[in-house]
């Protein structure tokens, strides 16, 4: 009897042990799968920036690095040096390296199609940021997303800023023609932000009932030094006294225009020698110029939230998670866009943005 009981007890223990091992193995298998999804240290993200010396994109990539550190993922960032051929090679290198996801700030938005084709061939998630691909490209792949801001909104804010200034300062209409006589500093040709900011800044003024007169407009390719040269040309050809307002598609070009104006005795603190200049981005140098009074206002382009959204989508997509507000941290449209709104910045509220 004792022998029977001992034998039965042994069988029972072995059975429980087997169940326990089987249970652990199953849990371990499931856990390994879950751990793989949860273990972000295995995730690597390749990020191509169109050029490192762009002030706004510097804020985006700095934020992405912070978010990568927070998420515990590896972020490899490369400078495409404003050359699409270089960026294409960098994308190829990332794919060969076996990154978990791609984030691309295209040099040329029309090149997005070939980048998507390469990513699609490897079933690799790709997130475009700041330069929006064509709609057909966005529809061509189920693992593609876009993070950015609606450029028309920034143009509208610029128009509102200029309207505010002319309503508060009747003497701004130097020739008394009831219109804003302006010059426009544009980003690169074909870039949707340059096109839409240019269009909607002036359209907003005109829609309000205020007339506009375009004295000059040309391309400075987002660059401060080029904008200074261009503004010097405008002043030489049109006369500084004839220019009543300066619209610039970004803060760097606005700051370039201000350098030129200062060289001609304007925007240095004398209210009688001030020409309102408006930009876009709310970069640190741009905010400093608003605070010291040499620049009138800008539209805050939230690079912090764009960087966070892009990195969170890259990580979640690498884990095969559905991209929603919960995983991205921001609203995601049905066609896979994340739009970060612009905000109006003047001297009255610029200190709020300087701390960001």
The secondary structure of 140-190 as a DSSP string is S-TTEEEEE--HHHHHHHHHHHHHHHHHH-GGGSTT-SSEEEEEEEE-STT
Per-residue pLDDT, 38: 52
Q: What pLDDT is stored for residue 17 in this prediction? A: 38
157 burial via Cβ count (<10 Å: 0-12, 13-18, 19+):
buried
Q: What are 213-246's pLDDT values in tens digits? A: 999 999 999 999 999 999 999 999 999 999 999 9
- State the pLDDT at residue 208: 98
Residue 29 has pLDDT above 70, yes or no: no
Tell me what the pLDDT averaged over the chain comes to: 90
The SS3 assignment for 340 reads coil
Are 52 and 79 in contact by the 8 Å Cβ rule? The answer is yes
pLDDT digits (tens, 9 = 90+) for 303-316: 999 999 999 999 99
Residue 33: band (very low, low, confident or very high) from pLDDT cuts 50, 70, 90: very low
- Give the separation between CA 230 and CA 232, rounded to whole angstroms: 5
pTM, rounded to two decimals? 0.81
pLDDT at 90 over 60: yes
In this structure, of 2-16, 59-73, 196-210, 233-247, the range with the lowest mean pLDDT score is 2-16
Listed in sequence order, the residues at least 6 apart from 66 whose beta carbon sits closer than 8 Å to its beta carbon are 307
**pLDDT value at 36 more than 50:** no
265: number of Cβ within 10 Å: 10
User: Long-range CB contacts (< 8 A, 24+ apart) of 37-40?
Assistant: 37/319, 37/320, 37/321, 38/319, 40/71, 40/72, 40/73, 40/315, 40/319
* H/E run at residue 56: helix 55-71
pLDDT at 191: 87
The residues facing 152 across adjacent strands are: none
The tokens describing 66, both together, are 């912070």
pLDDT at 194 over 60: yes
Amino acid 355: pLDDT:
78
pLDDT in tens, 45-78: 999 999 999 989 999 999 999 999 999 999 999 9
Domains and their CATH numbers in the chain:
42-149+302-340 (3.40.50.2300), 152-300 (3.40.50.2300)
Question: What's the average model confidence in pLDDT over 256-273?
Answer: 97
Phi, psi of 72 (to 5 degrees): 75, 30
Q: How many CB atoms lie within 10 A of CB 98?
A: 10
Q: Is the pLDDT of residue 37 over 90?
A: no
Confidence band of 41 (pLDDT split at 50, 70, 90): confident
Q: Is the pLDDT of residue 189 over 70?
A: yes
Q: What are 112's two structure tokens?
A: 């997005």
pLDDT reading at 21 higher than 80: no
Residues 6+ apart with CB under 8 A from 272: none
pLDDT tens-digit map of 125-145: 999 999 999 999 999 999 999
């Amino acid at each position: 009897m004792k022998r029977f009981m001992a034998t039965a007890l042994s069988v029972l223990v072995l059975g429980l042990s087997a169940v326990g091992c089987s249970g652990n193995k199953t849990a371990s298998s499931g856990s390994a799968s879950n751990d793989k999804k949860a273990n972000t240290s295995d995730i690597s993200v390749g990020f191509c920036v169109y050029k490192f010396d762009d002030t706004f994109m510097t804020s985006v990539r700095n934020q992405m690095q912070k978010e990568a550190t927070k998420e515990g993922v590896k972020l490899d960032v490369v400078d495409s040096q404003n050359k699409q051929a270089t960026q294409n090679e960098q994308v190829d290198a990332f794919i060969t390296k076996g990154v978990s996801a791609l984030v691309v700030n295209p040099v040329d938005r029309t090149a997005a199609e070939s980048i998507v084709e390469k990513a699609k061939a490897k079933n690799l998630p790709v997130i475009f940021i700041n330069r929006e691909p064509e709609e057909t490209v966005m529809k061509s792949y189920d693992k593609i997303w876009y993070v950015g801001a609606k450029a028309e909104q920034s143009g509208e804010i610029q128009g509102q800023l200029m309207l505010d200034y002319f309503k508060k300062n009747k003497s701004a209409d130097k020739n008394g023609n009831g219109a804003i006589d302006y010059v426009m500093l544009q980003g690169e040709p074909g870039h949707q932000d340059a096109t839409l900011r240019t269009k909607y800044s002036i359209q907003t003024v005109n829609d309000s009932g205020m007339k506009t007169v375009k004295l000059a407009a040309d391309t400075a390719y987002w660059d401060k030094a080029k904008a200074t040269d261009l503004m010097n040309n405008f002043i030489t050809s049109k006369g500084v006294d004839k220019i009543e307002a300066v619209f610039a598609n970004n803060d760097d070009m606005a700051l370039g225009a201000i350098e030129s104006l200062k060289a001609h005795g304007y925007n240095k603190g004398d209210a009688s020698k001030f020409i309102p200049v408006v930009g876009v981005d709310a970069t640190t140098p741009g905010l400093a110029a608003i605070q010291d009074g040499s620049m009138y206002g800008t539209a805050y382009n939230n690079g912090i939230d764009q960087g966070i959204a892009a990195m969170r989508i890259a990580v979640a997509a690498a884990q095969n998670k559905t991209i929603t507000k919960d995983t991205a941290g921001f609203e995601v449209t049905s066609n896979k866009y994340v739009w970060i709104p612009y905000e109006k910045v003047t001297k009255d509220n610029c200190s709020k943005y300087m701390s960001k």
